[in-house]
Structure 1
Amino acid sequence: MERHIPVALAPHRLGLLLVAAAAVLWSTAGYFTRAVPLDIAALLFWRGLFGAITSFVFVLVRERRNTLRAFAAMGRIGLLFCLLSSCGMACFVASLKLTSVAHVSSIYAAVPFAAAGLAWLVMRERVSPAVLAASLLALVGVAVTVAGGMGEGSLLGDVLALAMTLFVAAFMVLRRRFPDVPLVPAACVSALLPALASLPFVSTWPAHGQDIAKLIAFGVSNMGLALVFFTIGAKFIPAAQTALVGALETPLAPLWVWLAFGETPRGPTMLGGAMVLFAVIGPIAWDQWRDAPNRLQKCT
Structure 2
Amino acid sequence: MTDTASPRAALPAVSPREERIGMLLVFLSALMWSFGGTIARFIHVGDSWTVVFWRSLWAVAFLIAFMLWRDGGRGTLKLFRDMGLPGLGVALCFATASTSFVVALAYTTVANILLMQAGVPLLAALLAWVLFRERVSPATWIAIAAVITGVAIMVSESLGGAVSPIGDGLALLIAVMFSVATVITRRFAHVRMVPANCLAALLAGLFAASQASEFAVSGRDMAFLFAFGVLNLGVGLAFFAMGARLVPAAVAALLGTFEPILGPIWVWLVHAEVPSVRTIIGGAVVVTALLVHIGFEFKRQTRPERPGVTGLPSPN
TM-score (norm 2): 0.82
Higher share of residues assigned helix: 1
Structure 2: how far apart are the matches of 1:152 and 1:29? 25
In the alignment, does 2:54 pair up with 1:46? yes
- Paired position in structure 1 for 2:8: none
107 and 135 in structure 1: CA distance in 2 versus 1, 3 angstrom threshold:
same
Q: After the TM superposition, which residues 127-166 of structure 1 pair with which residues of structure 2 at under 5 Å, given as runs?
A: 127-150=136-159, 155=164, 158-166=168-176
| Alignment size in residue pairs | 288
252 and 118 in structure 1: CA distance in 2 versus 1, 3 angstrom threshold:
same
Match of 2:35 among 28, 33, 36: 28
Asked if 1 retains the 8 angstrom alpha-carbon contact of 2:109 and 2:158, the reply is no
**Which consecutive residues of structure 2, in runs of 5 or more, have no partner in the other structure?**
1-14, 306-316
- Paired position in structure 2 for 1:247: 257
Q: CA deviation at 1:254?
A: 1.1
Letter in 2 for 1:21: L
Secondary structure at the residue paired with 2:41? helix
- Paired position in structure 2 for 1:4: none
Percent identical residues: 39
TM-score (norm 1): 0.86
CA deviations 1:185-220 (Å, max 9, x no partner) are 111111111101110221244542111000001100
**Which consecutive residues of structure 1, in runs of 5 or more, have no partner in the other structure?**
1-6, 296-300
- Paired position in structure 2 for 1:119: 128
Letter in 2 for 1:13: R
Letter in 1 for 2:261: P
The farther-off stretch of 141-150 and 75-84 is: 141-150
Letter in 1 for 2:141: L
259 and 230 in structure 1: CA distance in 2 versus 1, 3 angstrom threshold:
same
- Paired position in structure 2 for 1:209: 219
- Paired position in structure 2 for 1:3: none
Secondary structure at the residue paired with 2:275? coil
- Paired position in structure 1 for 2:95: 86
Match of 1:194 among 178, 196, 204: 204
Q: CA deviation at 1:182?
A: 2.4
Match of 1:171 among 164, 168, 181: 181
Q: After the TM superposition, which residues 174-185 of structure 1 pair with which residues of structure 2 at under 5 Å, given as runs?
A: 174-185=184-195
226 and 17 in structure 1: CA distance in 2 versus 1, 3 angstrom threshold:
same
Secondary structure at the residue paired with 2:245? coil
CA deviations 1:12-43 (Å, max 9, x no partner) are 11101110110001011112333212222111
User: How big is the alpha-carbon RMSD for the aligned residues of Structure 1 and Structure 2?
Assistant: 2.5
102 and 139 in structure 1: CA distance in 2 versus 1, 3 angstrom threshold:
same
CA deviations 1:236-282 (Å, max 9, x no partner) are 00001101111111211111222333433333333222222222111
